Amino acid sequence: MKIVYIVHAVDTEGPLYESLSAKFKRIKDLYGIDVKKRNYTEFKKLLKKKIIHNNKKINISDIFSSHLNKYNENWSQINEMIDEMMTDQFRNKYKDSFNDCYKFTWHCLDHVGFINNPRKRTLGFHKIYDFYKKKITNNKKYGDSIEWHFHPMSTFKDANFCATSYFRDPIIYEILCRKILDRNFFPSSYRAGFQAERPDSNWFLEQWIPFDITNMSIKNKTHWEKFRDFKNGRSGNWRNAPSNWEIYNPDIRDYQKKGECKRYIGRALNILNRIATITQKEVDNAFKRTDKLKKPVLMGVSSHDWRDIRTEVDFVYKLVKSASKKFKNVKFKFLSVQEAFQKTIFNNKVKKKLKIKIIKSFKGNKDHPNLIIKTSGCEIFGPQPFLAIKTKNNQYIHDNFDFIKKNTWGYAFHENTLSLDKVKEIAIATNDQFGFTYIKKIYL
Ligand SMILES: [Zn+2]
């Protein structure tokens, strides 16, 4: 089938404030220009390319175009934007070949454990998730969905920085435990913070999350060298990953290479951005690819909710309509990230059919209290389900199952794990081999 499945994945982080001194700091970090007089007059001069540095007129419009410089700095600005986006008037302006409306997948972030917060990010578990969950639940007809985004803890716990090492802080497990136990949510797809992955995140995702829409590779390999924050493999480094809109299974040792992992990586380009930005040529390439292969193609675009997403949708839709005129026999459809991966990979032939049987043996003197999980119907995605435990003193703990035999895992409560009398709640979460998500609470 000649069809482009279009997904709009939003790194959903709540408001972001940028003071004037933070703007000058960013100019210094990105271009190495240390402006001495840091006031609005100087900033406006910079915007008009009136500052000469090393005999060159400085062009900072890459990072400070009116679109890129206009942030949603508080929740009322985000609320106003989202309320407009959750109307028939907005959604029906952007219809696909099936007369269906535009869709978003909100990859929600929890900022937790940060100490320094100069850009006034919203801190706390579920704060961002709850805001979007309510908006989406109240507007179900548009078909938006929620997924997961994560920023690894920065070295000195600054909320405005994003590291790449996932396990210098165990918060990643607590965030997922709380999502499962408190919100009955577990992700099927992922967007990496700063689009940065490394071997540790590759291996973490391979255990539980089947779909990853973080690849932003582009053909022009010199692109990355223009920016101090991306050159030489810094930050979101996808320079060696496929740049032709294919979905690939990464190599276990190198997330940018095709390999034997079970997880799937799709590509999403930024919109109106200095880095890996979507262009008419890229959209045409997605249409050209499905036309040539006669198979569905997943085309992703990505945003942040602290920017004006309305402007970005308008821009993307024009590119899509223009490509659609050039490739008249190719259709395009707006989907959630989960559904787009499923339809592209499995060609419409999947159903939710995993059965999970929980055998709990919490009483009796012959053995430690223990859990046995058996699945049937199809395979689970990863090597084991995700186990989430809440203790009576409100700690959230993730721990390991291990294999008993094929599709059967066990976990015991004893002095090397934790005793059952300390436990308040238990739940397990898993995706199946087709990327459907299942959560089961286990009652004590
Ligand atoms: Zn982010």
- pLDDT exceeds cutoff 80 at 319: yes
CA distance 174 to 389: 10
Both tokens of 121, joined, read 């990010």
29 backbone dihedrals φ, ψ, rounded to 5°? -65, -40
Q: Say how many Å lie between the CA of residue 53 and the centre of ligand 1.
A: 31
Which one-letter DSSP state was computed for residue 381? Answer: S
Q: Say how many Å lie between the CA of residue 378 and the centre of ligand 1.
A: 33
CA distance 438 to 353: 10
Q: Which CATH architecture has domain 3-13+73-346?
A: Alpha-Beta Barrel (3.20)
Q: Say how many Å lie between the CA of residue 149 and the centre of ligand 1.
A: 7
Q: Say how many Å lie between the CA of residue 142 and the centre of ligand 1.
A: 24
DSSP string covering 9-27: EEEE-------HHHHHHHH
Rounded mean pLDDT, 256-270: 98
Q: Say how many Å lie between the CA of residue 43 and the centre of ligand 1.
A: 26
For residue 108, give Cα distances in angstroms to 11, 13, 234.
7, 6, 24
Query: Hey, where are the domains in the chain?
Result: 3-13+73-346, 20-64, 355-442
pLDDT (tens digit per residue) in 351-385: 999 999 999 999 988 999 999 999 999 999 999 99
Q: Say how many Å lie between the CA of residue 438 and the centre of ligand 1.
A: 26
- H/E stretch holding 150 reads strand 145-150
Q: Say how many Å lie between the CA of residue 109 and the centre of ligand 1.
A: 7
Rounded mean pLDDT, 168-178: 95
Both tokens of 88, joined, read 């028939």
Does the domain made of 355-442 have the CATH classification 2.60.40?
Answer: yes
CA distance 112 to 89: 36
358 backbone dihedrals φ, ψ, rounded to 5°? -110, 120
- pLDDT exceeds cutoff 80 at 60: no
Q: Say how many Å lie between the CA of residue 301 and the centre of ligand 1.
A: 14
CA distance 327 to 366: 69
- pLDDT exceeds cutoff 70 at 62: no
Q: Say how many Å lie between the CA of residue 105 and the centre of ligand 1.
A: 14
pLDDT (tens digit per residue) in 416-440: 999 999 999 999 999 999 999 999 9
Provide the pLDDT confidence category of residue 52 given band limits of 50, 70 and 90.
low
Rounded mean pLDDT, 248-257: 98
First to last CA, the chain: 49
